[in-house]
């Protein structure tokens, strides 16, 4: 097993939220993965798939349902907890503990590589994309997604509460340490540019709009899984975090009522390795 640079007990690790991820977030990651599968080119018949930053294996599960040609499905992640969940979701998944920027696979192995909401986590995203290029067969496909930038009253109100509890610079540090490229890849055109720089031609760029009706409590549950929430809990300790959480719920409730109409847009880009660059 490779040495993993984010340790299990580190607040930044997805191991911290593995028991809540699917319950709270599958409702947003599943439709995004379905939309990604739907954007693959007509006639796409992959046999070998690698999903980098596979998390709980949502993408491999959806792709294996959609593309019956798949025989070899691998998913890598640096969180062992997430990999365990992924394996439980899809028994035939080859779950590999590996950094996406140092893929332990032979060149020319996969027909398709997917990367759902993960490039934003990789300071070394160029290295990761170059490695994806290496492990893809000629004319192989890459599909990646990222949230587009949104400013909404609900998220701003949550950020305000968090900043009061742990300070604004700390809240900013949280995102910078977990997903340093989140803001970069949320800007239109930057995923495409990253693909092009690494030798892929962009064959499709689309978006999927997701709308949720959440109770205030569900919204806070959603937010506290994020980097800021993870750092907040780490800095304050569990008891103080629970107190903060209750106060944040009351603040949001008094401003917005009981129901949050929350929407997010995910950008999805599909690229292709040119057969000539094999």
Ligand X SMILES: C[S@@+](CC[C@H](N)C(=O)[O-])C[C@H]1O[C@@H](n2cnc3c(N)ncnc32)[C@H](O)[C@@H]1O
| Contact residues for ligand X, defined by CB under 6 A | 14, 29, 33, 52-55, 58-59, 76-79, 82, 99-101, 116-118, 121-122
* Distance of closest approach, residue 75 Cβ to ligand X, in angstroms: 8
Is the CB of 37 or the CB of 193 nearer to ligand X? Answer: 37
User: For residue 96, what is the DSSP state?
Assistant: E
* Distance of closest approach, residue 98 Cβ to ligand X, in angstroms: 7
Is the CB of 13 or the CB of 190 nearer to ligand X? Answer: 13
Is the CB of 52 or the CB of 132 nearer to ligand X? Answer: 52
* Distance of closest approach, residue 122 Cβ to ligand X, in angstroms: 5
Residues 135, 142: Cα–Cα separation, whole Å: 11
* Distance of closest approach, residue 140 Cβ to ligand X, in angstroms: 19
Taking each helix axis as running N to C, give the angle between helix 216-224 and helix 18-38, from 0 to 180 degrees, rounded to the nearest 10: 90
Taking each helix axis as running N to C, give the angle between helix 227-236 and helix 168-178, from 0 to 180 degrees, rounded to the nearest 10: 120
Is the CB of 123 or the CB of 261 nearer to ligand X? Answer: 123
- The DSSP bridge pattern shows strands 200-215 and 259-273 to be antiparallel
* Distance of closest approach, residue 129 Cβ to ligand X, in angstroms: 12
* Distance of closest approach, residue 4 Cβ to ligand X, in angstroms: 9
Residues 38, 73: Cα–Cα separation, whole Å: 18
Comparing every residue's Cβ against ligand X, the nearest one is: 55
Is the CB of 52 or the CB of 113 nearer to ligand X? Answer: 52
The answer for residues whose C-beta is within 8 angstroms of residue 237's C-beta and 6 or more apart is none
* Distance of closest approach, residue 184 Cβ to ligand X, in angstroms: 15
Is the CB of 90 or the CB of 101 nearer to ligand X? Answer: 101
Q: What is the 3-state secondary structure (H, E, C) of 137-202?
A: EEEEEEEEEEECCCCCHHHHHHHHHHHHHHCHHHHHHHHHHHCCCHHHHHCCCHHHHHHHHCCEEE
- The DSSP bridge pattern shows strands 110-116 and 94-97 to be unpaired
Is the CB of 35 or the CB of 216 nearer to ligand X? Answer: 35
User: For residue 84, what is the DSSP state?
Assistant: H
Q: Do 6 and 74 contact (CB within 8 A), yes or no? A: no
First to last CA, the chain: 29
């Amino acid at each position: 097993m490779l040495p993993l640079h984010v340790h299990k007990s580190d607040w930044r690790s997805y191991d911290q939220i593995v028991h809540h991820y699917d319950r709270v977030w599958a409702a947003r990651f599943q439709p995004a993965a379905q939309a990604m599968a739907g954007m693959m080119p007509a006639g796409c018949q992959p046999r070998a798939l690698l999903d980098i930053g596979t998390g709980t294996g949502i993408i491999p599960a959806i792709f294996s349902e959609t593309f019956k040609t798949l025989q070899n499905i691998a998913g890598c992640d640096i969180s062992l907890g997430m990999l365990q969940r992924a394996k439980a979701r899809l028994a035939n998944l080859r779950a590999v503990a590996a950094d996406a920027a140092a893929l332990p696979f032979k060149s020319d192995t996969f027909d398709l590589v997917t990367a759902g909401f993960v490039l934003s986590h990789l300071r070394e995203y160029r290295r990761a994309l170059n490695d994806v290029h290496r492990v893809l067969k000629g004319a192989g496909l890459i599909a990646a997604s990222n949230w587009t930038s949104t400013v909404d009253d609900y998220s701003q109100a949550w950020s305000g509460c968090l900043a009061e509890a742990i300070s604004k610079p700390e809240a900013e540090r949280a995102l910078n340490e977990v997903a340093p490229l989140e803001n970069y890849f949320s800007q239109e055109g930057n995923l495409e540019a990253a693909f092009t720089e690494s030798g892929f031609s962009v064959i499709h760029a689309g978006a999927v709009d997701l709308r949720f009706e959440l109770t205030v409590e569900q919204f806070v549950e959603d937010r506290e899984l994020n980097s800021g929430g993870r750092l907040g809990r780490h800095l304050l300790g569990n008891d103080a975090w629970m107190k903060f959480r209750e106060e944040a719920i009351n603040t949001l409730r008094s401003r917005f009522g009981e129901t949050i109409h929350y929407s997010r847009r995910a950008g999805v880009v599909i690229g292709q390795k040119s057969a000539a660059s094999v």
